[in-house]
């Protein structure tokens, strides 16, 4: 039954208290912080969080582990345990941080849930597959996800795990992926939806960016955006830097405000 649960939720636990303590100690955790933990499992991370944070909300979908944690931490007065699916869970409305070892099978959905939330976490540390972390953080070449979110968040990989750090041992490499709110957003928060819609339009179907912009804004506006930003008509969306995308968006705002 244990193996069936772990296969169902694709969860691999960190077994070293020393490693968990090191990771949390090197995070931004503070004694006044409110933390959300997703999929606490046997409580290795939970134990460290409740010792260092003001309050911890742990959401566990597996009834076996939920009952286990209820008994294990029954005397912890700064911990709330919820038996729920995080994908259908109402996220906190107050400032909060996240530190979690999440199931690999739904890691993409969880990241989207958190980062696109109306109230995203101030700081977030997630144990995820290395491949996904590099794809999202896009350290070498920007992509749709990175361009869409980097005006408000910094991405980084803060730790590379050994496969033997986990029980059971996974057949993929894992890292500690972090995204944190920028102190000074590159675009105001109240423009997030407009900017993200523009980026989606600009990326289109992988055509040169001029073609994608012309379809939505017309030839005149598209040519103005490209020329004023000094971008070649042959340039593809994935070839633009974050700053170039921001410049295009800001030029579009100016064009629309001053027709």
Summary mean pLDDT of the chain: 93
Per-residue pLDDT band at 235 (split at 50, 70, 90): very high
The answer to whether 180 and 158 are in contact (CB under 8 A) is no
Find the range with the poorest average confidence among 25-29, 60-64, 220-224: 220-224
Rounded mean pLDDT, 87-96: 98
Among 6-10, 65-69, 121-125, 239-243, whose mean pLDDT is lowest?
6-10
- Tell me what pLDDT residue 110 has: 98
- Measured CA to CA, the distance from residue 194 to residue 224 in angstroms comes to 19
Residue 60 labelled as part of a binding site: yes
Residues 134-156 pLDDT 10s: 999 988 889 999 999 999 999 99
Q: What is the pLDDT of residue 206?
A: 76
> Any binding-site annotation on 190?
no
Does 189-257 carry CATH code 1.10.10? no
The CATH code for residues 2-138+153-181 is 3.40.50.150
Q: Is 79 annotated as a binding residue?
A: no
CA-closest candidate to residue 181, choices 242, 245, 124, 246: 124
Residue 250 clears pLDDT 90, i.e. is over it: yes
pLDDT of 200 > 90? The answer is yes
pLDDT of residue 254: 85
- Flag whether 85 is marked binding: yes
Average pLDDT score over residue span 168-183: 97
Domain borders along the chain are 2-138+153-181, 189-257
> Which of 219, 211, 224, 214 minimizes the C-alpha distance to 250?
224
Q: At residue 205, does pLDDT exceed 80?
A: no
Cα 59 from Cα 33, distance rounded (Å): 17
Q: According to the model, what pLDDT value does residue 257 have?
A: 60
Look at residue 4 in the predicted model and tell me its pLDDT: 43
pLDDT at 165 over 50: yes
Query: Is residue 39 a known part of a binding site?
Result: yes
How does 162-186 read in b/e, with b if 16+ C-beta sit within 10 Å? eeebbeeebeeebbbbbbbeeeeee
Whether the per-residue pLDDT at 8 is higher than 70: the answer is: no
Which pair of structure tokens corresponds to residue 35?
């933390």
User: Alpha carbon of 192 to those of 151, 198, 199, 259: distances in Å?
Assistant: 9, 10, 11, 22
Average pLDDT over residues 122-129: 99
């Amino acid at each position: 039954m244990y193996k069936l649960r772990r296969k169902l939720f694709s969860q691999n636990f960190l077994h070293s208290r020393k490693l968990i303590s090191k990771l949390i100690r090197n995070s931004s955790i503070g004694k006044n912080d409110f933390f959300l933990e997703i999929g606490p499992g046997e409580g290795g991370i939970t134990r460290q969080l409740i010792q260092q944070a003001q309050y911890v909300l742990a959401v566990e979908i597996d009834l076996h582990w939920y009952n286990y944690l209820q008994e294990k931490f029954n005397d912890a007065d700064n911990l709330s345990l919820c038996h729920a699916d995080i994908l259908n869970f109402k996220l906190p409305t107050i400032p909060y941080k996240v530190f979690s070892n999440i199931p690999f099978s739904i890691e993409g959905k969880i990241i989207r849930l958190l980062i696109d939330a109306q109230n995203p976490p101030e700081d977030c540390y997630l144990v995820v597959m290395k491949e996904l972390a590099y794809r999202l953080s896009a350290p070498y070449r920007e992509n749709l996800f990175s361009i869409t979110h980097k005006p408000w968040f910094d991405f980084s990989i803060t730790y590379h795990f050994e496969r033997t750090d986990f029980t059971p041992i996974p057949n993929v490499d894992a890292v500690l992926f972090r995204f944190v709110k920028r102190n000074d957003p590159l675009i105001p928060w109240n423009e997030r939806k407009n900017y993200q819609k523009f980026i989606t339009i600009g990326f289109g179907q992988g055509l040169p960016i001029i073609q994608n912009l012309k379809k939505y804004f017309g030839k005149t506006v598209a040519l103005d955006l490209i020329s004023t930003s000094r971008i070649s008509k042959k340039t593809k969306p994935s070839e633009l830097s974050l700053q170039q995308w921001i410049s295009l968006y800001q030029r579009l705002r100016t064009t629309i405000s001053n027709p």
